[in-house]
Amino acid sequence: MIRWLAALLALSVAGCGDDPVTAAPTLDGYPPIVIAHRGASGERPEHTLESYRFAIDLGADFIEPDLVLTKDGVLVARHENEISETTDVADHPEFAARKTTKTIDGKAVSGWFTEDFTLVELKTLRAKERLPTLRSTDHDGEYEIPTFAEILDLLAAVNARRAATGAKPVGVYPETKHPGYFAAIGLPHETPLLTMLEKYGYRGRQAPVFIQSFEIANLKAIRAKSDLPLIQLMDGEGGPADDPKTSYAVMASPAGLKAIAAYADGIGPNKTMVIPRGTLGTLGDPTSLVRDAHAAGLKVHPWTFRRENYFLPLGDKNGLNPAGHGDLAAEIEAYLKTGIDGLFSDNPREAVPAVHQGAAK
């Protein structure tokens, strides 16, 4: 019933009565990559070694750690520097006095922040599920906050075994979180990030790494020091925190993409910038973003693909339960037809076979 209704609505709301989309090639002709968004974060607490390890076991091509800094300048993996949603910090009375309110990228944020903790202190905390109403909390309290070095150690061990069998290495796709804010408080990302990547042998444009950021100056500063591949992230609304006069919509125009190509190798857009959704949540017609980005020489890695009904287009939902699992493969197939070069997913269990099957068509 849901699929039938979605098909009908798509014809009237999203303009899908046009000719079917013809599958477009990727920029370099290689199959699209699957980037494990915060690891296998649909099945384990995000940004934990177990989440990354599980994603690798499920066949992800890259694992994605978001990077923030500690008080003593160590890169650690958290989606935000405010950690109350993803750790048990609120249950530690010894840290109660550190709860505060800060302005991050122009917004007031209350909670506990990594830059107010040493690494030793952060290691006493345990990770928890960020979306407990949609996902299992069975693994809450089991895992530490990992350092970037620990993540690269994991990859080094995995890739040594893969090299022995001739398998391609699993890559790393770090995001610098709030780099302008961290630079302003004397904890810039660039030097520790590039130093760590160099230490682990990530060198040159062919290295299995992409460095991503929603900000611009951070990427340009990295480009001045390194030729590692860079990705300019974009959201469907707003603009980069370090350049309030610029919007992501302008950056996604042909002229904007040409400007990005001067310092980056690709873009990571909100997936609605590639295929927007209609009023009732149906998939619409693809925009020209992938084609325009490819014309500028840029790869396109949209985010984020998730299996829960809450996140899926109307036609791919399975029932009314927001936490139920719908047809993620169908959504991914629609995006693969646009020629995307890869995608971010919380669910490599579903995304990896969907991309492999879709790329083979």
The percent of residues in the chain predicted with pLDDT above 90, rounded, is: 91
Given a cut of 60, whether residue 319 has pLDDT beyond it is yes
Specify whether the CB–CB gap between 323 and 310 falls below 8 A: yes
Quick one: angle between helices 217-225 and 190-199, nearest 10? 40
Given a cut of 80, whether residue 243 has pLDDT beyond it is yes
Given a cut of 60, whether residue 112 has pLDDT beyond it is yes
- The first and second tokens of residue 1, run together, are 């019933």
Given a cut of 70, whether residue 153 has pLDDT beyond it is yes
- The first and second tokens of residue 114, run together, are 């990594």
pLDDT confidence of residue 167: 96
70: Cα separation from own chain's centroid:
21
Choose the CATH number for 2-15+22-80+143-360 among 3.40.50.2000, 3.40.640.10, 3.20.20.190, 3.40.50.1820: 3.20.20.190
Q: Tens digit of pLDDT for each residue in 50-97? A: 999 999 999 999 999 999 999 999 999 999 999 999 999 999 999 999
Residue with tokens 């989606």: 79
pLDDT confidence of residue 325: 98
H or E segment and range at residue 254? helix 254-260
Mean pLDDT of 261-265: 98
Amino acid at 238: G
pLDDT confidence of residue 358: 77
Position 333 confidence tier, pLDDT thresholds 50, 70, 90: very high
Residue with tokens 């169908």: 330
Given a cut of 60, whether residue 2 has pLDDT beyond it is no
Residue 154's CB is within 10 A of a number of other CB atoms, namely 19
pLDDT confidence of residue 14: 36
Cis peptide bond upstream of 304, omega within 30: yes
Q: Tens digit of pLDDT for each residue in 185-194? A: 999 999 999 9
Domain ranges of the chain: 2-15+22-80+143-360
Q: Tens digit of pLDDT for each residue in 269-298? A: 999 999 999 989 999 999 999 999 999 999
Position 360 confidence tier, pLDDT thresholds 50, 70, 90: low
Given a cut of 70, whether residue 202 has pLDDT beyond it is yes
Position 20 confidence tier, pLDDT thresholds 50, 70, 90: very low
Which long-range contacts link 12-21 to residues 24+ away (Cβ below 8 Å)? 13/278, 13/279, 13/280, 13/282, 14/277, 14/278, 14/282, 14/283, 14/284, 14/285, 15/284, 15/285, 16/282, 16/283, 16/284, 16/285, 18/285, 21/285, 21/286, 21/334, 21/337, 21/338
Specify whether the CB–CB gap between 286 and 322 falls below 8 A: no
Strand partners, 62: 35, 171
Burial environment of residue 168 by CB neighbours within 10 A (0 to 12, 13 to 18, 19 or more): exposed
